[in-house]
Amino acid sequence: MSKANSKEDNGKNMRVSVKKDVKIKDLSAIEGRFLFVRVGDDKNPATQEQIDNVKSSLLELFEKNNVNCLTFVTHHAVDVTIF
């Protein structure tokens, strides 16, 4: 797993940005969680086809491993803030 330098923990939230393929040995770690996936970056924005491919790959992975996880996949420019 290749991680970018963005990782913070304030006791409630933890953010990890991942640039390359994610290999999770234990998918139970994301069971019942909300997974927010941004595809692409400023230099290489994602196409709709790339976003759709990530969505379908995650769905296949979760179904194959019986993982229940709410997942939102979008382009890189979306940022979510929860107050």
| Confidence (pLDDT) at 21 | 53
Q: Is residue 40 part of a domain?
A: yes
2 in any annotated domain? no
Q: What is the pLDDT of residue 11?
A: 41
Q: Is residue 58 part of a domain?
A: yes
Residue 8 belongs to some domain of the structure:
no
Q: Looking at the domain assignment, is residue 61 inside a domain? A: yes
| pLDDT at site 23 | 60
pLDDT by 10s per residue, the chain, length 83: 333 434 344 444 444 444 445 566 778 888 999 988 999 999 999 999 999 999 999 999 999 999 999 999 999 998 777 77
> Which residue range is the domain that position 36 belongs to?
25-83
Six token digits for residue 22: 């994610």
In the chain, the number of structural domains is: 1
Give the pLDDT confidence score for residue 3 in this predicted structure: 37
Return the SS3 of 28. Answer: helix
User: Residue 9: inside a domain, yes or no?
Assistant: no
4 lies in some domain: no
- Alpha carbons within 13 angstroms on the beta-carbon side of residue 59 total 8
